[in-house]
Amino acid sequence: MEDINKDLPVMIVGLGNPGLAYRRTRHNFGFLAIDKLANELNIPVKRLKFKAMIGEGRFGDNKVVLVKPLTFMNESGRAVAPLLRFFKLPLTNLLVIHDDLDLPLGTLRLRPSGGTSGQRGMASIITQLGTQEFPRMRLGIGRPPGQMDPVDYVLKDFHPSENELKKIVLQTAVEASQTFINEGLTTTMNKFNGEVS
């Protein structure tokens, strides 16, 4: 498995929907992870470029680009693909963070490639890039209760009883992202895949 090219920036993309109404929803787990990472790395994500808010900075010896697409979830690829081309990055230097219905809350999983897991933002990115061979970090949100429509479920805020576990997941996502930047995907997968503690 190829790993990151240390001579080039690492781009970390968090998926979500722009706007205050969506800010704390399950579908915005990726945005929440980028917000926390931006705060920890002191990289403000405030510049508009190619239908996304981006921030550029450094972590250790490595240049980092943090990205929050403003296209709404289902069109995320229209922001990610142009940015990847602009920065002339290989796919190995891209990490996409997104929510995942198929994993329970409290589970974080990194993969070098794969399908969409039914996540439409990922489907858009795969379509726009023409490949599914790029690293991703899946943050579990669990399945909706009872007969609730998954579309309604992902657009609801986290329940107050979930907040503590959500915070732990976000902190773990930050630590995994930092490891990815410094040491690449293989080390990060070995260290962080599974349930957070």
Concatenate the DSSP letters of all residues of 20-73 into one string. GGGTTBGGGHHHHHHHHHHHHHT----EEETTEEEEEEEETTEEEEEEEE-S-G
Tally Cβ neighbours within 10 Å of residue 197: 6
Let me know if 27 is a catalytic residue.
yes
pLDDT of residue 120: 86
Q: Where are the domains of the chain?
A: 10-195
Residue 123 phi, psi dihedral angles, 5° rounding: -60, -40
Do 179 and 186 form a contact (C-beta atoms < 8 A)? Answer: no
pTM of the model: 0.94
Q: Tell me which of 26, 27, 98, 136 is the catalytic residue.
A: 27
Give residue 16's identity as a one-letter amino acid code.
Answer: G
pLDDT of residue 197: 63
pLDDT of residue 188: 93
The DSSP secondary-structure symbol of 141 reads -
Q: In a 10 Å sphere around its CB, with 0-12 CB exposed, 13-18 middle and 19+ buried, how is residue 188 labelled?
A: buried
Structure tokens that stand for 91 in this block:
């796919």
Q: In a 10 Å sphere around its CB, with 0-12 CB exposed, 13-18 middle and 19+ buried, how is residue 15 labelled?
A: buried
Taking only the tens of pLDDT, the chain with its 197 residues reads 468 888 899 999 999 999 998 999 999 999 999 999 999 999 999 999 999 999 999 998 899 999 999 998 999 999 999 999 999 999 999 999 999 988 999 999 999 988 877 788 889 999 999 999 999 999 999 888 888 888 889 888 989 999 999 999 999 999 999 999 999 999 999 999 877 76
Residue in the block written with tokens 């399950």? 26
Residue in the block written with tokens 């980092």? 64
Which CATH number is 10-195 given? 3.40.50.1470
pLDDT of residue 2: 63
Helix (H, G, I), strand (E, B) or coil at 195: strand
